[in-house]
Amino acid sequence: MQEENLETELRKMEVRLKEFIEAENEATESIRKCINKFTELNDFIQSLSKENIQEQLQRALELRLEAIKAFYDALERVSKAEHEKSHLLESYGSIILALEEQFQKLPGK
């Protein structure tokens, strides 16, 4: 790692924290949407009747596709949040290292 000063590392960490929080919020919202889609699909399946079965099956297939897409989106956003989290963890180490390097430069050392 290049020698960075503590101030620079702290600014980086602020940006990374912001990005992590945004990604976590997006992931949370995406998971909620996924739950809602699966709930909608489940409710529809439970309400099926023997009348107009072809139309109902078509709607069930559409809802299933929507639920699968919502699940995929949720996984993708959780993955992005985890990626941002890894950057945040990297910043922890960078800050500690920059802090130690700064202490090593104090007069009398």
Which of the residue ranges 3-7, 34-38, 69-73, 74-78 would you say has the lowest mean pLDDT? 3-7
Among 9, 1, 2, smallest CA distance to 96 is for: 9
pLDDT tens digit string along 53-74? Answer: 888 999 999 999 999 999 999 9
pTM above 0.95, yes or no: no
d(CA 34, CA 13): 31
